[in-house]
Every structure is written in C-alpha cells, then in structure tokens.
Amino acid sequence: MDMGLHHKSALVTGSTKGIGRAIAIELAREGANVLVNGRDREEVERTVIELKSMFPSTDPVAAAADLADREQREALFARHPHVDMLVNNMGIYEMLSYEDTNDEQWETYFRTNVLAANAMCRVYLPNMLERDFGRILFIASEEAMMPSGQMPAYAMTKSMLLSLSKSLSKLTRGSEVTVNTILPGPTLTENVREIIDSLYPGEALTFEDKEKRFMAANLTQSELQRFIAPAEIGRLAAFLCSPCASAFKGSPIRMDGGMIPTIF
C-alpha cells in the first residue's frame, strides 16, 4: 500500500545500524527523504549512498552528529530546521547491574536516552504544529514496562520516554500531528547476532539452531521464540509515520514478541 510519504522528510536518529537503519530503509522505501544520523561520519555517508542506491527516487541526506552533545545538536538544527517526521531511535544500553552503576553512568543514560530526544522534540514539534502535520516516534523497549533488573538505568530512561511521549501528545490536540512510542522486544541487531554466534563455539549449528537454543534457555517468556527482525520494526515505524496512522495519539505500541505478560 502507498503510505503517502513521498517527498516527506524524516530524521531518524541513530540510523546507521540496527533498528534505526531498518526504519530509515522502510521510510525510504515509501519515498521519504531520510536524514541519516550517527556519530561516525563515514558510516553516515555510507548509509546515505546505500539508501540512494536502493531507492534512487529519494534524496537521503547525511546528518552526522552526536546528539547527546548540545553544540552538535544545535549545528544539526541550523542545517535542518524543519522535518516532517522525527524518529527518536538513538540510545545506549548494556547489561549493567544497579550496584555497578555510578552517578556518572546514570547521568550519561539520562542525557543520551532522554534529554537528547526531548531536545529534538522541542525544536521540531512547534513547526509540525504550525504546519498541521508531523510525526514524532520514540523507540523504547519492553524494559520500559517490564524491567528485567539487569539494566536499571536503561529501563528507567525507556519508561521516561513513554511519559514524555504521552505528555507531548497532549499538545497535539485537534491537529494532524502525532506522538507515539514503539516498544520492541528482543531484536536481532548486528551486535545481538554476533553475541549469539559466539555462544556456541565448536558446535555445528546453524544460526537458527543457536537462536532457538538461546531463546529456550534465556527468554522463555517470549511467545515468538525468535528474535524480532529489525525490518519488522521498520515497517511498523513507517506505518505509524504515515497519514494512515493519524488516529494513534500518545500510544505505546508493543512489538515485543509476547514478552510482556499482561494485557495492559
């Protein structure tokens, strides 16, 4: 289906790898001109070239910047003051116990995962409201609703994004601007694939066999019993960014593979 995104501009933060890259690809597939963001300028440029090659009718743009850094954010805003769609995907995570997390690490998680995303919204939301069209999409995690206890700083920041999304959505009342959040479950990003591949050395197993073994041993609560493909999240994101999804307002949309065991 045509999602009506041709020639619209989309800034996807952290879009050179993983979920962000998949979202950039799916938006470009729908005809959007994607602003590719990442900290590594070479990776950003490479991703722009790949998008242009895959979707030659679109005009992807390099938007390299460390968005956790205020000066770099402001430089990006000066270059790109208006976008039709903002996907706040950038974030950091690692397995880090509560006892091992110091004050500086808490502050880094808050600054990177929350304050940077909020700064993006403060710049782009007013213009969307003025033009009466826009999409803001946060990428959270099932950890936002069901903290595992293995990464409390990460879980805290993702929960905060749910609250921020709902608060900002209240400002869009009566407009064609929407603010929503996707909550992915365990996703097969490049890093996850490398980790799974490394867990069973010396065993003649296909990746699918390794994945099944890992899920059965470590993620029994998953009803999907496989990792979610980034492209699956990318397609959902493209739909939520489209005019087709105008009735989604301040919604947490779960694509968690059944990880969250409750109905709410």
pLDDT tens-digit readout, 198-245:
999 888 899 999 999 999 999 999 999 999 999 999 999 999 999 999
Q: Establish whether 154 is a catalytic residue.
A: yes
Tell me the whole-structure pTM to 2 decimals: 0.96
Helix pair angle (41-54, 18-29), 10° resolution: 30
Q: Domains in the chain, ordered, with CATH?
A: 9-187+228-255 (3.40.50.720), 192-227 (no CATH)
**Cβ pair 220, 14 in contact under 8 A:** no
Predicted confidence at residue 260, as pLDDT, reads 95
- Could you give phi then psi for residue 236, rounded to 5 degrees? -65, -45
Predicted confidence at residue 95, as pLDDT, reads 86
201 or 257: whose pLDDT is higher? 257
Distance CA 63, CA 43 (A): 11
Which residue in the list 98, 109, 124, 154 is annotated as catalytic? 154
Predicted confidence at residue 2, as pLDDT, reads 87
pLDDT tens-digit readout, 30-70:
999 999 999 999 999 999 999 999 999 999 999 999 999 99
